[in-house]
Chain A
Amino acid sequence: MRNKILSISIFLFFSIVFIVFFKGLKETNIYTPDLDIKKEIPFFHAKDFYTGKKLNTSDIFKLDQTYLLNIWSSWCVPCRKEHPLLLSLNENKKINIIGMNYKDNKIKAEKFLKELGNPYKRVFEDLEGTIAIEWGAYGVPETFLIYNNKIIRKYIGPLNLNIIEEIKLLIK
C-alpha cells in the first residue's frame, strides 16, 4: 500500500515537472521581461548629436506627447534593417521619434543617417552606453514607446511590421 502511494506520488511529481518544463519552453520564445512597464522615464543628461548642446530629460520629453525612443548605432546591422520602418512611421504626425546614438563614431553615424534618411526629431549621443543603462536597455537596437513621461512599451531587438502596427494602434 505504502509502495503504491509512493509510486503514484512520484509519477505525479514527474508529470508536474514535465508540465513546467513544457510551459517554460513555450515561454522562452518571448523572452523579454516587463514588456509593458508603466515606469517613469529616467532622468539623464546627454549631448545633442548635431549641436553638441547639453540636454536633459525635460528638454526632450514633454508631457501629453507620444515619443518613440530608438537606440541605434551605425555599426549595428539589425538597425539598418529596421530603419525603413522608422522612416515610414515618421509619416505619422502623432509621434515624435527620438534617436539615441549608442557607442558610435560621429562621422560614421552621420554618414548612416545621410545614406538611409533621418527619421529622428532629435538625436542625442550615448558614447559610453551609460544612458542606455539608465533606461534599462540591453543593447542595440531597442525601442521605447513613451507617453506622458511614462514608458508604455519596450521592444528589444529590431522592430518589425507587427510591432509597427501595434504602435500605430496604441497611439490612436
Chain B
Amino acid sequence: MKTLKIIIIIFFIYPTSNLKAEDLEMKNKITKNLRCLICQGQSVYDSDSEFANSLKIIVDKKIDEGLSEDQIYEFFKNKYGEWILYDPGLNKNTYILWLLPLLIFLAGGAIIYNSFIVKK
C-alpha cells in the first residue's frame, strides 16, 4: 500500500516517459546532439526534465513518421533556433569558432619554428 502511495506521488513530481525500445540507436544519436534548453548544459539524452522527456517523445514520433536525422534537426532548429543543436555546423556564424583554434595551432607552430629552432 505504501509503495503504491509513493508511486502515485512520484507520478506527479517525476518526469515520466512513454517510450518503446525501438529505433533506439538513431534516437540516442539525435537526442545526444540536442540541448535540453531548460537544464544547465545537459543534452536531451542525459536529462530527465519534463522538457527533455517531451522532446524525446517528439523525436520518437518523427522517426516513426520516417524523417531523416537532418530533417529532425531542421524541425527543432525551426522551433527553437540553432541554440538547440550541440553541433554547430560551419556557417557564417561559426567560421571563427571552428577556424580560430586551428589558426592558433598554425601560428604557434610558426612561432616555435621561427624563434627557437636552430636551422641548418
A interface residues with partner B (beta carbon < 8 Å): 33-34, 75, 103, 105, 108, 128-130, 132-136, 138-139
Contacts A103-B50, A105-B12, A139-B38 known; A128 to B81 CB distance under 8 Å?
Answer: no
**Out of B18, B37, B80, which one reaches A128, CB within 8 Å?**
B18
Contacts A105-B12, A138-B37, A138-B38 known; A129 to B50 CB distance under 8 Å?
Answer: yes
Q: Is the CB of A136 within 8 A of B80?
A: yes
Does B97 belong to the interface (CB within 8 Å)?
Answer: no
**Out of B51, B80, B81, which one reaches A129, CB within 8 Å?**
B51
Q: Is the CB of B50 within 8 A of A139?
A: yes
Shortest CB-to-CB span from A144 to chain B, Å, is 13
A-B pair number, CB within 8 angstroms:
39
Chain B residues closer than 8 Å to A136, beta-carbon distance: 79-80
Chain B residues closer than 8 Å to A132, beta-carbon distance: 54
**Out of A33, A103, A129, which one reaches B83, CB within 8 Å?**
A33
Chain B residues closer than 8 Å to A33, beta-carbon distance: 80-81, 83
Which 5 residue pairs of A and B lie closest in terms of their CB atoms, listed nearest first? A129-B54, A136-B79, A128-B57, A130-B58, A133-B58
> Which residue of A34, A75, A129 has the most chain B CB atoms within 10 A of its CB atom?
A129
Shortest CB-to-CB span from A115 to chain B, Å, is 17
Q: For residues 35 through 60 of chain B, which have their beta carbon under 8 Å from a beta carbon of chain A? A: 37-38, 50-51, 53-55, 57-58
Shortest CB-to-CB span from B100 to chain A, Å, is 13
**Out of B11, B12, B61, B80, which one reaches A130, CB within 8 Å?**
B61
Q: Is the CB of A133 within 8 A of B38?
A: no
Q: What are 11 A-B residue pairs whose CB atoms fall within 8 Å in the complex?
A: A33-B80, A103-B50, A128-B18, A128-B54, A129-B51, A130-B57, A130-B58, A130-B61, A133-B58, A135-B79, A136-B80
Q: Is the CB of B51 within 8 A of A130?
A: no
Shortest CB-to-CB span from B33 to chain A, Å, is 16
Shortest CB-to-CB span from A112 to chain B, Å, is 13
